[in-house]
Amino acid sequence: MSVGYYPKREKVGLEDLFKGLVTASHILHCHGVLDAYGHISVRSPDNPATFWMPCNISPALISTPDDLIEYNVEDATPVEKNAKPGYLERHIHSEIYKRFPAVNSVVHSHCSDMLPYCISEVPLKATIHMAGFLGTGVPVWDASSHYPSGSKHDLLVRNAQLGASLSAAFKPATSAGFIYSKFRSALPSQIGGSQEPDKEPNHAVVLMQSHGFTTLAHGIEEAVYQAIYTKEAAKAQTTALTIRNAHFGHSVEGKVDVEGGGKIKSAKVKAEGDIKYLSDKEAHDAWEANQDTISRPWGLWCREVEVNPLYQNKCPGGEDE
Task: Give me the DSSP letters along 162-188.
Answer: HHHHHHHTTS-SS--S--HHHHHHTS-
- Sequence-ordered list of residues with C-beta below 8 angstroms from that of 171, at least 6 positions apart, any chain: 99, 100, 181, 200, 201, 202, 203
Q: Which H helix or E strand runs over 227?
A: helix 220-248
- Cβ atoms of 82 and 49 within 8 Å: the answer is no
Q: Is 210 left (phi over 0), alpha (psi -120 to 50) or beta?
A: left
288 C-beta neighbours (distance < 10 Å), count: 14
Question: Nearest 5°: phi and psi at 70?
Answer: -95, 130
- Cβ atoms of 277 and 126 within 8 Å: the answer is yes
Specify the 3-state DSSP secondary structure of 318: coil
- Cβ atoms of 260 and 267 within 8 Å: the answer is no
Q: Which of 89, 95, 200, 222 is catalytic?
A: 89
Catalytic residue at 282? Answer: no
Measured CA distances, 69 to 48, 87, 261, 280 (Å) = 15, 10, 70, 39
d(CA 126, CA 130): 9
d(CA 229, CA 32): 11
d(CA 262, CA 44): 69
The one-letter amino acid at 10: E
- Sequence-ordered list of residues with C-beta below 8 angstroms from that of 280, at least 6 positions apart, any chain: 135, 136, 177, 178, 179
Q: What residues are annotated to the active site?
A: 89
